[in-house]
Amino acid sequence: GSTIGILGGGQLGRMMALSGSNLGYRFVTLDPTPDAPCGQIAEQITAGYDDVEAARQLAAKADVITYEFENVDAGVAAMLMTESYVPQGSELLYTTQHRLREKRAIEAAGVKVAPYAEITCVEDLRQAVERFGLPCVLKTATGGYDGKGQWVIRSLDEIQEAYETLAQAKTELVLEQFIRFTKELSVIAARSPRGEVKAFPVAENIHVDNILHLSIVPARVPFDTQDHAEALAIRIAESMNVVGLIAVEMFLTEDGELFVNEVAPRPHNSGHYTMEACRTSQFEQHVRAVCNLPLGDTSLITPVVMVNVLGEHVEPLVARMAQIDTEASSLNVAPKVHLYGKQEAKEKRKMGHVNILADHLDDALTWVEKTNIWRKK
Ligand code: ATP
Ligand code: MG
Ligand code: MG
């Protein structure tokens, strides 16, 4: 079999390698943390993500290179493109590393994003806030995740401080109109070099403190909204010439409109439900796509709720495992626990997730409530 090299050895790489191993591939990763989640099950080169020499070693060991995060260093990407085989290309990274470029690419696909403006000085910000009204969201163009690098501006008094704080990141800023969404949805689509495209069922996502808490599938929205969301993701995958996965985060408004928030060219936390609930998981699909194999069937086998296990949830979860099982059998749900093997259970850190398979979504949601580990906000 051939060897797949992954830039990044976190949980996404780990689950990719677990799936890909079943297809006969070997894996080698590059990650700065010794004993990273993927390194526990695959070969790891321990070095910084921007270490071109280490990336060259990765390339020498691998037949195909992919990544589990989009902030791949430009120098590393350029070297890999010339010296190795990166089926996803470098343009997809270039586009999705930067919110402004990403928004333009989404618009070029004929898909709506929240009204936005590039902000280069505090005066730009004042004018844009006036145009969009309050509240609105100021974001750094690069590097943000879990709501880091953004500021919801709720009053004119905050403009100066918001600008100064985010400007410290030394990247462009973008202001977005605040979308009063009724639901957040996401769709993960896959495209292979031969041009085959498939989307997974749309997930309904609930965040707590800007971190994904629940994904609920099927999303509790009308069928035509589900179809529309899936069609948008496919349109973006085709327009951006995606290879591998593209995760598309969207806002649904009261009048049924969909706005794309952001995209990610990799497996996505909101797609973890596919591991047991779909005929093919997002991780297997990614491996199939980058290896130009036929894409797998994305059909949903069963309703499912995915709940994230953060640092503060690990101990209570492990302590209550027996009780949780009793609860599950009385509710007739099957909670599938996934832990990523991370050493330090820091607060808010993603340590694992549980996919709760059920005939009825309400039973899975009741199980989450009754386990009483995930405090309600
Ligand atoms: P991620 O961890 O998903 O990469 P991120 O730091 O890139 O997060 P976003 O996804 O852009 O941040 O925003 C985080 C959350 O903030 C969104 O899921 C949504 O709940 C809210 N949000 C972001 N932009 C807007 C907006 N324009 N209008 C309303 N809510 C927004
Ligand atoms: Mg993001
Ligand atoms: Mg997001």
For residue 174, which phi and psi values (nearest 5 degrees)?
A: -135, 135
pLDDT of residue 92: 96
Is 147 near ligand 1, meaning CB less than 6 Å away?
A: yes
The answer to whether 160 is a known ligand-binding residue is: no
pLDDT of residue 376: 62
93 within 8 A of 72, measured Cβ to Cβ: yes
How far away, in angstroms, is 322 Cα from ligand 1 center? 36
How far away, in angstroms, is 149 Cα from ligand 2 center? 10
What atom in ligand 1 is closest to the CA of residue 179?
Answer: 28
Is 6 near ligand 1, meaning CB less than 6 Å away?
A: no
Q: In angstroms, what CA-CA distances link 190 with 60, 72, 289? A: 27, 20, 7
Helices 159-167 and 122-132 cross at an angle (nearest 10°) of 130
The Cα–Cα gap between 259 and 310 comes to 28
Residue 175, both tokens = 């202001």
The answer to whether 353 is a known ligand-binding residue is: no
Signed CA dihedral, 274, 146, 98, 179: sign only: positive
Q: What is the pTM of this model?
A: 0.98
Domains plus CATH for the chain?
Answer: 3-86 (3.40.50.20), 115-177 (3.30.1490.20), 181-371 (3.30.470.20)
Is 143 near ligand 1, meaning CB less than 6 Å away?
A: no
The Cα–Cα gap between 186 and 217 comes to 10
The answer to whether 268 is a known ligand-binding residue is: no
Residue 115, both tokens = 């009204």
Write the pLDDT tens digit of every residue in 302-334. Answer: 999 999 999 999 999 999 998 888 999 999 999
The answer to whether 178 is a known ligand-binding residue is: yes
Is 211 near ligand 1, meaning CB less than 6 Å away?
A: no
To test the ligand 1 pocket, which listed residue (210, 213, 254) has its Cβ within 8 A of the most ligand atoms?
210
Instruction: Tell me the ligand closest to 145's alpha carbon.
Output: 1
- Low-confidence residues of the chain, pLDDT below 50? none
Please name the residue whose Cα sits nearest to atom 5 of ligand 1: 145
pLDDT of residue 377: 52
81 Cβ neighbours under 8 A, 6+ residues apart: 89, 90
The answer to whether 346 is a known ligand-binding residue is: no
What atom in ligand 1 is closest to the CA of residue 181?
Answer: 29
Amino acid in position 377: K
Is 184 near ligand 1, meaning CB less than 6 Å away?
A: yes
The Cα–Cα gap between 38 and 298 comes to 25
Is 73 near ligand 1, meaning CB less than 6 Å away?
A: no
The Cα–Cα gap between 185 and 359 comes to 21
Which residues share a beta bridge with 211? 208
The answer to whether 209 is a known ligand-binding residue is: no
pLDDT of residue 375: 77
To test the ligand 1 pocket, which listed residue (69, 150, 215) has its Cβ within 8 A of the most ligand atoms?
150
What atom in ligand 1 is closest to the CA of residue 178?
Answer: 28
How far away, in angstroms, is 53 Cα from ligand 3 center? 32
Residue 106, both tokens = 């989404």
Is 261 near ligand 1, meaning CB less than 6 Å away?
A: yes
What atom in ligand 1 is closest to the CA of residue 148?
Answer: 6
The answer to whether 226 is a known ligand-binding residue is: no
